Amino acid sequence: MVYTGPLSMKTRTLPMDKSQAKSRENDLAKLAGAGDFHAFSELAEIFKDRLHQFILCIIGPDREAEDLTQEAFIRIYKALPSFRGDCAFSTWAYAVTRNVCRGALRKRGREADILEDAGEERLARAADRAPLPGELLGRMETAAIVRTEIEALSPIHRTVIFLSCWEKLSYEEMARALDIPMGTVRSRLHNALAALSARLRKALPEENRS
Whether 192 contacts 161, CB under 8 Å: yes
| 3 lines the binding site for another protein (CB under 8 A) | yes
Among 48, 62, 87, 119, binds another protein (CB under 8 A): 48
Sign of the CA dihedral with 161 first, then 199, 116, and 114 last: positive
Which member of 52, 95, 102, 103 binds another protein (CB under 8 A)?
52
DSSP string computed for 150-188: HHTS-HHHHHHHIIIIIS---HHHHHHHHTS-HHHHHHH
Residue in 37, 108, 118, 205 binding another protein, rule: CB under 8 A? 37
CA–CA separation, 18 vs 3, rounded Å?
A: 29
What mask, x for binding another protein by CB under 8 A, covers residues 128 to 167?
--------------xx--xx--x----------xx-xxx-
Span from 21-29, 43-51, 91-99, 125-133 in contact with another protein (CB under 8 A): 43-51
One residue of 24, 39, 40, 131 binding another protein per CB under 8 A: 40
CB 59 within 8 A of CB 111: no
